[in-house]
A and B are shown apart, each in its own frame.
Chain A
Amino acid sequence: MPEMNFIQAINTALAEELRHDPATFMMGLDIWVGAFGATSGLTDEFGAERILNAPISEAGYAGAGVGAAMAGMRPIVEIEFASFFYCCWDQVCNQAAKLRYMSGGQADMPITFRAVCGAVGSAAAQHSETVYSQFMSVPGLKIVVPSGAYDMKGLLKSAIRDNNPVLVFEHLKLGRSREEVPEEEYLVPIGQAAVKREGSDVTIIAIGYMVSQALKAAKSLEEDGISAEVIDPRSLIPLDEETILSSVAKTHNVLVVDEGHLRCGAAAEISAVIADKGFDSLDAPVKRLAAPDVPIPFSPPMEKFVLPNDKKIAATVKEMLG
């Protein structure tokens, strides 16, 4: 099977979906040039009418996406860095998320929002957040966080085809990571977790870029005689509770790892689900590893201190099983 990197996976998914459905079109900052490469070449094939370079007006163009979706189109809206979602919060949370429900089911909202997220290295507090957790408590949004090129491509295609608002978070650190991706078309369904590695002593549930860190940790734990299962939820809303709970039923120990903040984060929600529905399987309390509740600092030693990584994951697991 041919390999491609994460960015190429985004690029091919976009191109395929733009080809697949003439109602799709894109808006975003600098997408003609395509700063991160995800949109390179799209203007050549689809023209400037369907690939729209937007002004720096997040509320305006995100909202225009909402309106276009209600008027029968299938917009793909790029928000560049996830922290800029704060500039169009209303259009995503009050409008896209609610209008179907509030209109008694009249409005379909086939809109996809894409944003890069996560800490890439001293980008400081306004360019390093994950942000998806904040959206998790807004009913009406689906949220996917792919951890590699294969899932990225399949999930993005599913997101675009979904008739509901879907937020896709693309961790910048995964940009050059490569995976095998089939040449023939495939979709990865939204709402299905992936068991990335099987194990029997502990379940590590990891989100996005943290999946790679959890897999690394699992390898090093193996040398210490600990068998770790790694689960990637892939989509946070809807959450595949079944896969998570059956893994916990097998291992009886669980660590939830997220790069986002600890308080009310994705890890908190997943932990609560396990505590609610998997309590009898547990040998020990559910443990969370996430960024402490401070903005992501600029200086490298401080940034390293707040971010989870493979070593911290392995150390936490050893402590848990210790």
Chain B
Amino acid sequence: MADTSLSTDKLLDMYRTMQRIRQFESRVRDIFQEGQIPGFVHVSIGEEASATGVAAALTEQDYITSTHRGHGHLIAKGGEVKPMMAELFGKKTGYCKGKGGSMHIANFDLGILGANGIVGAGLPIATGAGLAAKVRGSGEVAACFFGDGASNEGTFHESLNIASSWKLPVIYVCENNLYGEFTAGKDVTSVKDIADRARGHDMPGVVVNGNDVVEVYEATSEAVERARKGEGPTLIECKTYRWEGHVVGEEAFLGKRSYRPADEIEAWKKRCPLITFEQRFMPDTFSQEELDTVQSEVKQAIDDAVQFAQDSPYPQPEEALDDMFSKE
């Protein structure tokens, strides 16, 4: 049953966003393996609800910082799939003109201060965006996505302390997918719930089902409200799981070395964010046809994005030298 106060429009929007992320990521995985995308890519299949629920509680003016696994965060914050896909291809029409690639997509107009190749680097940056809003009194908040692994970086602890001491409008969103690269969190992390670390910095720490978009949305909305009232930061831990490898194609270099039990992966697939949504809201709130329509509209958009990326030109080699310093 639809035990939520959310409007059907809002719910359908969130479903659409999750579909967009799922289909973008699945397509990226496939075409990466075909060799169409250079470098390496980290996809967030299985983690659509945390990105979506958090961003749905933000306005366009609010900020986010993201990670190496950032496509979903960007899509949720309003990133368009065409220039995103083009960036992954290294094309001139990409959000960063091909300079950044998968790990570095950014769009400052949408408050997206960037994916990041350095684990933990987004934490101080989001803290600073919150600081900017507070200093100038402009009312935005900053949401900071990071992984369970990142919560072991010094930047995590330093950022939480700064934000709590200065009562900054920041929402720290830990997407705990149980692993950092090929290492289980339990082997290298002092706490089971990353949210417990909030206590050490005197801020609320909340654990949510990260695969339930409504739960994520509601927890974030509360944290945003607190932040806008000047009451300071919140740490939200979304329990979730990545279905794919750390990087797409890791089997090629890991060979037989495995680090996750197969039954664990299967168990988490049953807790799919999309299925969780469908089971909750279908058929009472949405019919199968309504959700199917969303799915096929999204498919068209992703097809178009791939086509756009394929058709776009590469930057000229010499453009490597542009964009270094402000000319003003």
A16-24, A26-34, A234-242 - interface stretch: A26-34
Contacts A56-B119, A299-B101, A301-B316: A33 and B153 contacting too (C-beta < 8 A)?
A: no
Indicate if B309 sits at the interface (CB-CB under 8 A): no
Rounded to whole Å, the gap between the CB of B116 and the closest CB of chain A is 8
Contacts A56-B119, A299-B314, A302-B98: A37 and B253 contacting too (C-beta < 8 A)?
A: yes
User: B320 and A305: CB pair below 8 A?
Assistant: yes
Task: Report Cα–Cα, A191/B277, bound state, in Å.
Answer: 63
User: B90 and A122: CB pair below 8 A?
Assistant: yes
B20-28, B135-143, B163-171, B181-189 - interface stretch: B181-189
Rounded to whole Å, the gap between the CB of B242 and the closest CB of chain A is 15
Chief secondary structure at chain A's binding surface: loop
User: A122 and B101: CB pair below 8 A?
Assistant: yes
Sample of 9 more A-B contacts, CB < 8 Å, known A33-B254, A55-B152, A298-B99: A29-B183, A55-B189, A87-B154, A121-B38, A122-B38, A124-B100, A125-B99, A298-B38, A306-B320
Q: Which residues of B contact A60 (CB under 8 A)?
A: 152, 154
Rounded to whole Å, the gap between the CB of B186 and the closest CB of chain A is 11
Q: Which of B40, B91, B150, B181 contacts A29 (CB 8 A)?
A: B181
Contacts A30-B183, A83-B118, A298-B38: A56 and B320 contacting too (C-beta < 8 A)?
A: no
Q: Which residues of A contact B118 (CB under 8 A)?
A: 83-84, 86-87, 126
Indicate if A304 sits at the interface (CB-CB under 8 A): yes
**Can you list 16 residue pairs at the A/B interface with Cβ under 8 Å?**
A33-B182, A35-B254, A56-B153, A56-B188, A59-B154, A60-B152, A87-B154, A122-B38, A124-B39, A124-B103, A125-B117, A126-B117, A126-B118, A298-B104, A299-B91, A301-B314
Chain A interface residues toward B at CB < 8 A: 29-30, 32-37, 40, 53-60, 83-84, 86-87, 121-127, 292-295, 297-306
Task: Report Cα–Cα, A23/B98, bound state, in Å.
Answer: 47
User: B316 and A87: CB pair below 8 A?
Assistant: no
Indicate if B120 sits at the interface (CB-CB under 8 A): yes
Indicate if B324 sits at the interface (CB-CB under 8 A): yes
Rounded to whole Å, the gap between the CB of A47 and the closest CB of chain B is 14
Centre residue among B38, B98, B320 by max chain A CB count within 10 A: B320
User: B188 and A54: CB pair below 8 A?
Assistant: yes
Task: Report Cα–Cα, A74/B40, bound state, in Å.
Answer: 34
Q: Which residues of B contact A36 (CB under 8 A)?
A: 253
Task: Report Cα–Cα, A295/B318, bound state, in Å.
Answer: 13
User: B320 and A302: CB pair below 8 A?
Assistant: yes
Question: Interface 1/0s, chain B 175-203, versus A by CB < 8 A?
Answer: 00000111100011100000000000000
User: A302 and B319: CB pair below 8 A?
Assistant: yes
| CB closest chain-B residue, reference A58 | B153
Q: Which residues of B contact A29 (CB under 8 A)?
A: 180-181, 183
Rounded to whole Å, the gap between the CB of B170 and the closest CB of chain A is 21
6 tightest CB-CB pairs across the interface, nearest first?
A299-B98, A298-B101, A299-B90, A122-B39, A126-B117, A305-B317
Contacts A33-B257, A36-B253: A56 and B120 contacting too (C-beta < 8 A)?
A: yes
| CB closest chain-A residue, reference B88 | A298
Task: Report Cα–Cα, A217/B318, bound state, in Å.
Answer: 23
Rounded to whole Å, the gap between the CB of B316 and the closest CB of chain A is 7
Q: Which of A56, A87, A126 contacts B103 (CB 8 A)?
A: A126
Rounded to whole Å, the gap between the CB of A282 and the closest CB of chain B is 30
Q: Which of A83, A84, A299 contacts B315 (CB 8 A)?
A: A299
Rounded to whole Å, the gap between the CB of B269 and the closest CB of chain A is 22
Rounded to whole Å, the gap between the CB of A259 and the closest CB of chain B is 15
Question: Interface 1/0s, chain B 303-328, versus A by CB < 8 A?
Answer: 00000000000111111110010000
Q: Which residues of A contact B103 (CB under 8 A)?
A: 124, 126-127
Contacts A30-B181, A298-B90, A300-B38: A56 and B150 contacting too (C-beta < 8 A)?
A: yes
Contacts A53-B187, A299-B314: A125 and B104 contacting too (C-beta < 8 A)?
A: yes
User: A56 and B101: CB pair below 8 A?
Assistant: no
User: B98 and A298: CB pair below 8 A?
Assistant: yes
| CB closest chain-A residue, reference B119 | A56
Task: Report Cα–Cα, A61/B188, bound state, in Å.
Answer: 11
Rounded to whole Å, the gap between the CB of A104 and the closest CB of chain B is 30
Rounded to whole Å, the gap between the CB of A54 and the closest CB of chain B is 7
User: B320 and A300: CB pair below 8 A?
Assistant: no
Q: Which residues of A contact B182 (CB under 8 A)?
A: 30, 32-33, 35
Question: Interface 1/0s, chain B 85-99, versus A by CB < 8 A?
Answer: 000001100001011
